A and B are shown apart, each in its own frame.
Chain A
């Protein structure tokens, strides 16, 4: 199964002086079960692209196939709820979506909208809050009392509680501290590897892409410029730089070490793994 975009175009405010073509004939096939990073400059169409995944935006041209549904340009899709449930979309700075009196009520809100019973919704909500690392003593607090990082976690739990098959995140770690960032990224990684969720992440952080993602999609002026697995993608440093992308420091580090005579394998994608590999090599002489 895969998610397919064929010749998808999206135009904001068509027919006005503010007309803007955000997506321009996007052809893209995303495999399910992978973590895919979507990168590109500001205004390259990343946010527009992901809003097509749960039909918040409908294409002006082309069609999208997702989870056995087809969304065609010019056709108003009926009964979007199942799609909205299966494609969980976490917006950029999602804290603003919190509105209930208590944290637990806010997380229950999503599943209940999709027809889950109060009891099951509560169970799901507790699971989701535990996943994002929030303890029980904040359940009854007002979401507005929480710290920025906690709010972000609640907002992500909001979506996780819906138990989506595909999780789409728009810069989920922007504004989080380094520890929080690491915890969030590890969570998404675990959701993918352990629970088999398909994950799409819009990000500007190449270290994150290198460490956690499988594939990379580069958008440029509303078109897909590159869609590759990350190792192939970062191998061509010149090509990366031509797109304004600075390869992760870890790659440069590995290159320097290789020049010094280390034989490091391809699949070292984190500082921890690199340290481990170096220790092995040093020990074995």
Chain B
């Protein structure tokens, strides 16, 4: 669990890291939409090349991205099996007794795999290059227009930033409790059904206790410093769009338009 890579910020000095989080979030949304436009293999090829260039620009390593991809492997295998059982179109690729594998089953799965890969690459480009705090500031600013229809933009952003802030802490806490209970002879990997249930209980109960304790401490600390939700607040750090941010947005817009064009033609 200490090797969790999905959604982790990687401190580097790159042009992508310096960009405005709002521009990055919007660009990411456009790119994600672009992925879901069925632009065919050529379209995905182009997207892959562009995203790879961004990854290189951001000084991220590809192994990092593939590590983030690992948890998805199980899902993909599962999908392949379902597809093989259900999809019966295209031409027959392979026949083993009563099991017939159709070409569309394999291609459908591949299609989803490529989309997933692209999605993870794009979202990683955002999360790995943007500090969680900057990210929530960006989200808050982007949600501001929706305040008119009573979307609590600031509260949502605060919720997200608190949740993000405590993920690593809770992971550390889990590891700590696991080690303490392992020292008391708990075997989290093996054992009979009943033993495993107690093993998991010995992990979950302390985790809940400490999570609630943390929540209370945090609430008290925030109140002690005069935090009141819904009040107008100023910010120490102001976000400012620069020319490179507009370039990013225009590029993302062009790519999206290009993909739509390819799909239509």
Residues of A within 8 A of B (CB): 12-13, 16-17, 51, 54, 56, 81, 84-85, 88-89, 91, 94, 96-99, 109-110, 113-114, 144, 158-159, 162
Q: How far is the CB of A89 from chain B (nearest CB, A)?
A: 4
Q: What are 22 of the A-B contact pairs (CB < 8 Å)? A: A13-B2, A13-B3, A16-B3, A56-B183, A84-B183, A84-B185, A89-B183, A91-B176, A91-B179, A91-B180, A96-B180, A96-B206, A96-B209, A97-B181, A97-B184, A97-B202, A99-B201, A99-B202, A99-B209, A109-B198, A113-B186, A159-B184
Contact A99 B205 (CB under 8 A): yes
Contact A159 B183 (CB under 8 A): yes
Contact A99 B180 (CB under 8 A): no
| Cα(A158)–Cα(B180), bound, Å | 11
| Cα(A54)–Cα(B183), bound, Å | 7
Contact B184 A91 (CB under 8 A): no
Contact A94 B180 (CB under 8 A): yes
Indicate whether B217 reaches chain A with its CB closer than 8 angstroms.
no
Contact B184 A162 (CB under 8 A): yes
- Known contacts A96-B173, A96-B209, then 12 further A-B pairs from the complex at CB < 8 Å, ordered by chain A residue: A12-B2, A13-B2, A51-B179, A84-B182, A84-B184, A91-B183, A94-B180, A96-B210, A97-B181, A98-B206, A109-B198, A113-B184
Q: A96 contacts which chain B residues (CB < 8 A)? A: 173, 176-177, 180, 206, 209-210
Q: How far is the CB of A163 from chain B (nearest CB, A)?
A: 12
Q: How far is the CB of A226 from chain B (nearest CB, A)?
A: 28
Q: A158 contacts which chain B residues (CB < 8 A)? A: 184
Binary contact readout B5-22 vs A (1 if CB under 8 angstroms, 0 otherwise): 000001100000000000
Q: B10 contacts which chain A residues (CB < 8 A)? A: 17
| Cα(A158)–Cα(B176), bound, Å | 16
Residue among B177, B179, B209 making CB contact with A56, cutoff 8 Å? B179
Residues of B within 8 A of A (CB): 2-3, 10-11, 64, 173, 176-177, 179-187, 198, 201-202, 205-206, 209-210
Inter-chain contact total with CB atoms closer than 8 Å:
62
Q: A114 contacts which chain B residues (CB < 8 A)? A: 185
* Shortest Cβ distance from A51 into B: residue: B179
* Shortest Cβ distance from A93 into B: residue: B176
Q: A113 contacts which chain B residues (CB < 8 A)? A: 184-187
Contact A97 B3 (CB under 8 A): no
| Cα(A258)–Cα(B121), bound, Å | 72
Residue among B64, B182, B206 making CB contact with A99, cutoff 8 Å? B206
| Cα(A159)–Cα(B179), bound, Å | 13
Q: B182 contacts which chain A residues (CB < 8 A)? A: 56, 84
Q: How far is the CB of A284 from chain B (nearest CB, A)?
A: 51
Q: How far is the CB of B241 from chain A (nearest CB, A)?
A: 29
Q: A54 contacts which chain B residues (CB < 8 A)? A: 183
Residue among A85, A99, A144 making CB contact with B185, cutoff 8 Å? A85
| Cα(A97)–Cα(B207), bound, Å | 9
Q: How far is the CB of B8 from chain A (nearest CB, A)?
A: 9
| Cα(A51)–Cα(B180), bound, Å | 10
Contact A88 B180 (CB under 8 A): no
Q: A109 contacts which chain B residues (CB < 8 A)? A: 184, 198, 202
Q: A159 contacts which chain B residues (CB < 8 A)? A: 183-184
Chain B CB within 10 Å — which of A12, A88, A96, A158 has the most? A96
| Cα(A91)–Cα(B176), bound, Å | 9
Chain A CB within 10 Å — which of B173, B176, B185 has the most? B185
Q: Knowing A16-B3, A99-B201 touch, does A144 contact B209 (C-beta < 8 A)?
A: yes
* Shortest Cβ distance from B205 into A: residue: A99
Q: How far is the CB of B203 from chain A (nearest CB, A)?
A: 8
* Shortest Cβ distance from A144 into B: residue: B209
| Cα(A34)–Cα(B202), bound, Å | 32
Contact A81 B176 (CB under 8 A): no
Q: B198 contacts which chain A residues (CB < 8 A)? A: 109
* Shortest Cβ distance from B180 into A: residue: A97
* Shortest Cβ distance from B173 into A: residue: A96
Q: A88 contacts which chain B residues (CB < 8 A)? A: 183
